[in-house]
Amino acid sequence: MMPAKATASRKQATTNGAALKLRRGAAQPQYVQLAEYLRCRITRGELQSGDPLPTLRAMRGQGVTQFTLDKAHDILEQEGLIVREQRRGTFVAHSHQRPRKGVIAFCGGDVLLTASSPYWARLIEGVHETLDAENMQLLLWADPNADGLQNKADGALVNGGGADFIPDWWQAQRWPGVALLYPLDGISSVTADQSQGVRLALEYLLKLGHKRIAYLHGDDMWSSIKARLAVYHATLRAAGIAPQPSWLCKLNDQPMIYFHETGLTTMRDWLERKADNWCATGCTALLAQNDETALGAMAAFQEAGWRVPEDVSVVGFDGTELCEMARPRLTSVEVPLREIGRRSAQILLRQLKDNAGDTQHIELPVQLRIRQSAGPPKM
């Protein structure tokens, strides 16, 4: 005879089964949808250790077939969430903590194409520093929405933006995850104080005597770019300067993995454009979206016969080793990329040990590294 608790749970499972809605033609197969639905009920505590899972008879009205149910159970059994007992049924495992794979995924930001760039290299160095001490491996994974991530890794570090950047199942299951540099709703994050960085750069240029400072920026659909633009306007206004629309230039629409080329072509266009070119703005300094964009802009200035910093000052953002390689060496806002990677991995490992844990957000300070690419304006 089934214990009283299990009998009550079976009744609950049958009732709650009405909430299940399998979608035909969706990106995920129906058995994956069913596995996700059952997984969520287990992780939320609606189905507890020893409880039976809803039967085929209970879910047949929602379009569940024997094939769909068996395949869903295969997934959950592999994850250690359920056990199948011959002649008795399928039950929630008494210890449904997922078996560890020893792998952390690093997702987003075109990292598969540009992992060797100084920017990504510094982030990944910090991650490796933490993971290596715990004998964990790092997996580069392009898109967190792609199928199979949870079967490959124990959790993920994510670089990206937008509320839809991570899939719904991630938050529903409280799957371990940490956002790097750009916060994402519902998961922990480690970011840099980008607003502070813009202020430091502009205040330095203002101190040098620049009063017309241009900004070469990314797409303002991103909240981080909007925040930087807001600080740009506020800082200049606080100095008694009314920033002009002609001082702002959005980077050309190119894949953002080619920042140097994008900075070069955008600045070329700006210098050559007749109606609203660089000369017409009267700007004597440029703040760029990042170091690679700044170096591309410097190359365009030099092609046009402009000297840096004698004719125009340039300041970058990120502070990678590219700054030291540039000629002249690039003044830049240094973001603690390695520390962001290290702290993010530490938080993720704690989540794994604590079975998720509390959501936390850390913002690290930045510094302005003064080199040779900025000087007083021509008198």
User: Which tens digits make up the pLDDT trace of 15-49?
Assistant: 343 467 777 766 678 888 898 889 888 877 788 88
For residue 309, whether the previous peptide bond is cis, meaning omega lies within 30 degrees of 0, is: yes
Q: Is residue 294 part of a domain?
A: yes
Same domain assignment for residues 227 and 299: yes
Q: Is residue 230 part of a domain?
A: yes
Q: Is 249 helix (H, G, I), strand (E, B) or coil?
A: strand
Beta strands in 39-109 (DSSP E): 82-85, 89-92, 103-107
Residue 357 tokens read as 């844990």
The DSSP H or E segment spanning 78 is helix 66-78
Task: Look at 224 and 362; give whichever has higher pLDDT.
Answer: 362
User: Which tens digits make up the pLDDT trace of 153-209?
Assistant: 888 998 865 545 677 667 666 788 899 988 887 789 999 999 999 999 999 999 999
User: How far is residue 92's CA from residue 90's CA, in Å, rounded to a whole number?
Assistant: 7
Same domain assignment for residues 146 and 66: no
Task: Look at 373 and 89; give whichever has higher pLDDT.
Answer: 373
- Helix 337-353, helix 118-133: angle, nearest 10: 40
Q: Is residue 374 part of a domain?
A: no
Same domain assignment for residues 331 and 344: no
Tell me which of 92, 123, 150 is where a domain ends: 92
Residue 1 has pLDDT above 60, yes or no: no
Q: What average pLDDT does the structure give for the chain?
A: 85
Same domain assignment for residues 143 and 119: yes
Name 282's Cβ contacts closer than 8 Å, sequence gap at least 6: 212
User: Which tens digits make up the pLDDT trace of 278-308?
Assistant: 888 999 999 999 999 999 999 999 999 999 9
Same domain assignment for residues 121 and 42: no
Q: Is residue 55 part of a domain?
A: yes
Same domain assignment for residues 33 and 56: yes
Question: Of all residues in the chain, what percent carry a pLDDT higher than 90?
Answer: 48
Same domain assignment for residues 174 and 116: yes
- Angle (CA) 282 287 289, round 5°: 135
- Please count the helices (runs of H) and the strands (runs of E) in the chain: 15, 14
Same domain assignment for residues 75 and 117: no
Same domain assignment for residues 69 and 200: no
Neighbours of 49 (CB within 10 A): 12
Same domain assignment for residues 64 and 110: no
pTM, entire model: 0.74
Segments forming the whole domain that contains residue 250: 194-335
CATH number of the domain within which 250 lies: 3.40.50.2300
Q: Is residue 377 part of a domain?
A: no
Same domain assignment for residues 224 and 317: yes
Q: Is 316 helix (H, G, I), strand (E, B) or coil?
A: strand
Residue 135 has pLDDT above 50, yes or no: yes
Tell me which of 70, 92, 114 is where a domain ends: 92
In whole angstroms, how large is the CA radius of gyration of the chain?
A: 26
In the chain, the number of structural domains is: 3
Q: Is residue 322 part of a domain?
A: yes
CATH number of the domain within which 9 lies: 1.10.10.10
Tell me which of 61, 92, 123 is where a domain ends: 92
Neighbours of 32 (CB within 10 A): 19
Same domain assignment for residues 330 and 343: no
Q: Is residue 324 part of a domain?
A: yes
Q: Is residue 181 part of a domain?
A: yes
Q: Which of 73, 42, 76 is nearest to 56 (CA)?
A: 73
